Amino acid sequence: MYTCADCAVRACGVRDPESLPANCPMRETELMEAALGEYDIPENRDFYITASEIEALGYCQWPRVRETVELCRRMGYSKVGLAFCRGLSREAKVLAGVLRRAGLNVVSVICKTGGVDKTICGIPEEHKVHPGNFEPMCNPIAQAMLLNREHTELNIVLGLCVGHDSMFYKYSEALVTTIAVKDRVLAHNPLGALYCAEGYFKDRII
């Protein structure tokens, strides 16, 4: 079992193979060679090199939105998808405007598309946020399918719920990047809970 999160050696960052921990993933030489081979696939190679160039060019200068715009420009994309949460509709409108000003065609699909009550897909009435009322289900599979139909070249996720984002990633045919993730308690900044994990939030995160 790999435990990189707890590693105190970080031999991967200093080219020191002699100090590899016993369970270091870098001991999996065949797997590492296989992974490197995947970067030789033209579509992977071009995308990865472009993303890495953007990392260097905008390092500690460009916000993630700018990095996303630059990625699209340098990859020659013209049509991007935006899968967003209804709770971030205002942010989605601003982002779509930014992307259009950058010369991109934006296909946006809201999470509640379909307008189907949650009970239709098996969610018990008592597990709704407001039981007894019509409550449209989040529909990440439909979001992905609609963007697939539009042949978007890159899809952007904005604030989809935990798990719903996973299903969107699964069904999206285009590669996906995320601008923001959902955290209703911390103003969509889930790292806040980690910064306070041993203090204020210790009893609230597990």
Instruction: Please check the confidence at residue 206 and state whether its pLDDT lies above 80.
Output: yes
Helix axes 140-149, 164-171, angle to 10 degrees: 30
Pair 155, 72: CB distance under 8 Å? no
Query: Would you give the distance in Å from CA 33 to the centre of its chain?
Result: 26
Q: What per-residue string of b and e applies to 43-69 under the rule 16 or more CB within 10 Å gives b?
A: eeeebeebbeebeeeeeeeeeebebbb
Q: Helix, strand, or coil here: 197?
A: coil
Q: For the segment 83-134, what is each residue's pLDDT rounded down to a tens digit?
A: 999 999 999 999 999 999 999 999 999 999 999 999 999 999 999 999 999 9
Amino acid at 88: L
Whole-model pTM: value is: 0.94
pLDDT band at 156 (very low <50, low <70, confident <90, very high): very high
Q: So where are the chain's domains?
A: 1-32, 77-206
**What is the structure's pLDDT at 194?**
94
Partnered with residue 31 across adjacent β-strands are none
Instruction: Please check the confidence at residue 186 and state whether its pLDDT lies above 80.
Output: yes
Percent with pLDDT over 90 in the chain: 92
Q: For the segment 16-64, what is each residue's pLDDT rounded down to a tens digit?
A: 778 899 999 999 999 999 999 999 999 999 999 999 999 999 999 999 9
Distance CA(22)–CA(11), nearest Å, equals 12
CATH top class, domain 77-206: alpha beta
